[in-house]
Structure 1
Amino acid sequence: MAKQMTEMLKGTLEGVVLALLREQPAYGYEITARLREHGFADIVEGTVYALLIRIEQRGLVDVERVPSEKGPPRKVYALNTDGQAVLDEFWSTWGFLSDRIEALRTDTPPEHA
């Protein structure tokens, strides 16, 4: 089941991270910690950092460099309006897919067929 979970999570992790950033701006390690608090214990920091680079390049977040007590400044990511639009689309798609998957699982027609 772990391999299947990993593959499914790859397709949804961007939406999950955007949802976390909607709640509150954060830097990479904070995002990883918040993912773990929400039960995504197997996600490694490298995966999160690679995703943050992609969503920054796509213009879905605003980035602020904040001084750090240790080392270089931290990049704090905040969801912007483009990111919110992508998140809204993610939730819409998630609702559509989850309705149909649940209908298949329970062998009942979907409500919004």
Structure 2
Amino acid sequence: MFSFVDIRVALLLSAAVLLARGLSEEDVPSRGCTYNGKVYGDQDRWKPDPCQFCFCNSGMVLCSMPGCMYPSGCTNPIVPEGQCCPICPDDGIKRGGGSRTGILWLTGGAAKWSQSRDQSKREGCW
């Protein structure tokens, strides 16, 4: 019959065998995310740029953009360097328009914008 010490030794030897076999991270189930070639752990948060905030949730990358008022009645809206929202360069005044607050879903290399946190209700392309 095994004693408590024998069980601990067996567990340590099992761990050593697994390490010696060279199990890679791919062999261990993970709920992390990969974004632009970088691996993030589950529940990690990051800002890929000043206008975007991302979050890893159970293997899915969720990114959100700020709510912007898009210029209406403007023929040539632009986004100035260092800013996130477009303005109308014709007069330099931000004009009101529709709001685009929501979540940018990134799945399988495709980006989809949605106002819903429920991925099954995705709508529109970003």
Taking structure 2 as the reference length, the TM-score comes to 0.18
Q: Which has the higher strand share?
A: 2
Q: Which has the higher helix share?
A: 1
Greater radius of gyration (CA): 2
